[in-house]
Amino acid sequence: MSEKIGLKEAISIGIGGMVGGGIFAVLGLAVSLSKGGTPLAFLFAGGIALITSYSYVKLSKTYPDRGGTVKFINQGFGQTIFSGGINNLLWISYIIMLSLYASAFGSYAPNLFAITGGQLDFHIYASGIIILASAINYYSIKVVGVIESYAVIIKLVILICFIGVGIYGLMGNPNLDQLAPSNWEAPLQLLTGGMVIFVAYEGFELIANAAPDIKDPEKNIPRAYYSSIIFVICLYIIIAVVTVGSLPFKEIATAQDYVLAEAAKPMLGKVGFTIITIAALISTFSAINASLYGGSRVSYEIAEDDELPSEFTYQLWNQPIGLLITAILTLTLTNTLELESISTAGSVGFLLIFAMVNFVGFKLAAETGSTKWIPMVGGVLCCIALLALLQQQFSSNAMGVIIAVSLIAFCFLIEMVYKKMEKSRSRTK
């Protein structure tokens, strides 16, 4: 029998999943899209995550399963080509998140120690950290857990200190005017800015995978979801306020990929820059570690439900084969795509998945004891946000949209081909 998880641990799973590498990777991108309205963009994205968590709470309590989202999708749609395609998309979205974290690591690391002094440093660091994290996952899952538990504490302490010093440093800072409504982008642009960075919130769904092990689930599952999301919304909004109020937009644009470290400079100089850079490296490394583990488990669960070939349940060096495939695909995406395209593809994937989970929450409201209109509002908001994101990004980053749509189509195509092959195989038996 596995050890039970208390409320504190369940909340830290949610916070650790969200405050992974996301905020370090996408903050600069958020400011470039939303300007002075960046705190509002984070609020929009967080609001959608919070409404969606209602469906997760009800489904987690009714169908506690280590498959988490995979289980909920199958519960709502049965084991069909559609549910298989959505579950494949969840795995691919994990890989996209891994690429985002590795990109952030590759952008921050050369500021501490340059190897070649050029663009090659990004590829060396980003690839190196994926290979190192894969090796740790193969060596010991226990080590992954230990790294994650320490990393959550370290990154939160550093971020909260950054906020404390940052708020003090804002007094009398001329850049504070950048937060005025006159510097906000148009409402639609603010919404799409929030949606491009929606990936910074997706990690709350990891609580679903831990649901069977949570003590007193009736009380603690809702508390874990809502507390972790509300805490992270507040954290992100204050970080956005401090960043936009500390640096001119021009400097934020120049340091877009490592803007949080740059924002610490006006307050703490080179020391602050170094401390935040180290925090970013610890955060992204721990997020890569945990997401590699999660991604390999998702592919294993999907194969167990017969939505991917049974070969995906095979073990290689005592780990699911999905771990190696996840690592190889992550290396490929990280070294070929731009950060904005990776972020867009990740947000599109998770908005579609969360829209479907909300639909399942609506459909199974009687079984889960849900108030029907909340999942319906969540589903509609996810769909509106998804369409707004695709429309806006298509005009400014068409490649990101093409990649996102192609990945979704690929997930369903693979499922269709697999189901057809299974059908013809069972006929010939």
Tens of pLDDT, residue by residue over 343-366, are 888 889 999 999 999 999 999 999
Tell me how far apart the alpha carbons of residues 262 and 51 are, in angstroms, rounded to a whole number.
33
What stretch of H or E contains 399? helix 398-428
Closest CA to 190 of 49, 51, 42, 50: 42
Can you give the pLDDT at residue 58?
A: 96
Give me the CATH topology for the region 7-421: Amino acid/polyamine transporter I (1.20.1740)
Closest CA to 305 of 127, 13, 88: 88
Can you give the pLDDT at residue 429?
A: 59
Helices (H) and strands (E) in the chain, counts: 17, 2
Alpha-carbon torsion (166, 171, 174, 179), positive or negative: positive
Cα dist from 312 to 150, 306, 319, 333, 390, whole Å: 31, 10, 11, 21, 32
Can you give the pLDDT at residue 374?
A: 96
Can you give the pLDDT at residue 3?
A: 66
Question: What's the helix, strand, coil split of the chain in %, to 5?
Answer: 85, 0, 15
3-class SS letters over 47-110: HHHHHHHHHHHHHHHHCCCCCCHHHHHHHHHCCCHHHHHHHHHHHHHHHHHHHHHHHHHHHHHH
Cβ atoms of 68 and 17 within 8 Å: the answer is: no
Closest CA to 276 of 146, 127, 165, 117: 165
Closest CA to 25 of 347, 349, 377: 347
Can you give the pLDDT at residue 405?
A: 93
Tell me how far apart the alpha carbons of residues 326 and 234 are, in angstroms, rounded to a whole number.
32
Can you give the pLDDT at residue 24?
A: 81
Cβ atoms of 273 and 111 within 8 Å: the answer is: yes
Residue ranges for the chain with pLDDT beneath 70 = 1-3, 20, 141, 144-145, 316, 318, 429
